[in-house]
Amino acid sequence: MNDGEPRFRSYVAIDWSGAKGRRHKGIAVAEARHGSGAPRIIRPDHVWSRTELLDWLFKQAEREPTLFGFDFSFAPPFVERGAYLPGEANVPTNARAFWHYVDHHSDDEDLGAASFLEAVHRPHFYFGIADGVKADFVHFRQCDAALNAQGGRKTASAYDAIGAAQVAKASFSGMRLLHRLDGQVAIWPMDPLPTPGSKNASAVVEIYTRIYLRRAGMSGAKLRTAADVDRALMGLGSDPASLLVDPTDHQSDALVTAAGMRALAQDPASFAPPGLTARIARTEGWTFGVL
């Protein structure tokens, strides 16, 4: 990488979905090119499947150095209790092996993982009041705790599987995706960033849209209009998208996050947050943007 040459040419944010089924209206993909140009939605009228998106990612990763961001937890909490699923036998103790474990014990179509939550390890997930006190299920990773200490307000736990704000289904489905990416595309921070100029210099990171909304000077609430999206983009140093119609929630999240990833990635310190240790990288991972 020459002086002034960017590590990545493209920044892609994926608003992910863990919903059951084969195609998912909740998936949106946005790309911001290196520079300050407005991000764009990839295939805005398309309803993606997760496996189709995986195939697209592989092709894009080989085409040019790309930083991909997914909005799900790359692993459940581990450090707090010393296990992903306390009390269970034969459960791996590092993220990479746990991805394989989730994939092996899930039989849902299109990389879904509902069966893992609903049947294989049901007692560890909160689905409603019949399970008891919700607080007993709410555990966080170290990066989540760091974000909350900064006022980031990340309240959803990987073990919470009920309601619109739950992240369990998306996260465990995402772990099946990571299992397929493992060894093919660098997954930060479980893997180091690839060497610039290498055959595949792309990487995958975990994202959280609220981080970029706050960095843009917004309240952190969902953006509902094209005008709101443009204000957020300009707050991140990006040209406005000037959309002709208001985006969906998923599209607005993807657009702002792509621009936010691009802005953040220009600072090498973003990939070396002070709270990230080798043990945390190996077991829990880290959300890109929690500094």
The pLDDT of residue 285 is 98
Higher pLDDT, 162 or 211: 211
Number of domains in the chain: 1
Higher pLDDT, 221 or 12: 12
Cβ burial of 74 (10 Å; 0-12, 13-18, 19+) is buried
Q: Are strands 186-187 and 203-206 parallel, antiparallel or unpaired?
A: parallel
Task: Measure the CA angle with vertex 245, ends 259 and 211; round to 5°.
Answer: 25
Arithmetic mean of pLDDT, 269-285:
96
The pLDDT of residue 2 is 47
How confident is the model over 30-63, as pLDDT tens digits?
999 999 999 999 999 999 999 999 999 999 999 9
Kindly give the interhelix angle for 249-265 and 226-235, rounded to the nearest 10 degrees.
10
What average pLDDT is seen over the chain? 94
If we measure between CA atoms, which residue out of 74, 49, 40 comes closest to residue 178? 74
Residue 13, pLDDT above cutoff 90: yes
The pLDDT of residue 4 is 61
Residue 153, pLDDT above cutoff 90: no
Q: What percent of the chain has pLDDT over 70?
A: 98
Peptide bond into 189 cis (omega under 30): yes
Higher pLDDT, 150 or 178: 178
User: How far is it, in rounded angstroms, from Cα 187 to Cα 143?
Assistant: 16
Q: What percent of the chain has pLDDT over 90?
A: 87
How confident is the model over 67-89, as pLDDT tens digits?
999 999 999 999 999 999 999 99
Arithmetic mean of pLDDT, 231-253:
97
- Note down the domain range covering 82: 1-291
pLDDT band at residue 163 under the 50/70/90 scheme: confident
The residue ranges of DSSP E strands in 162-207, in sequence order, are 186-187, 203-206
How confident is the model over 181-196, as pLDDT tens digits?
999 999 999 999 998 8
What are the respective helix, strand and coil percentages of the chain, to the nearest 5? 40, 10, 50
User: How far is it, in rounded angstroms, from Cα 216 to Cα 122?
Assistant: 39
Arithmetic mean of pLDDT, 115-126:
94
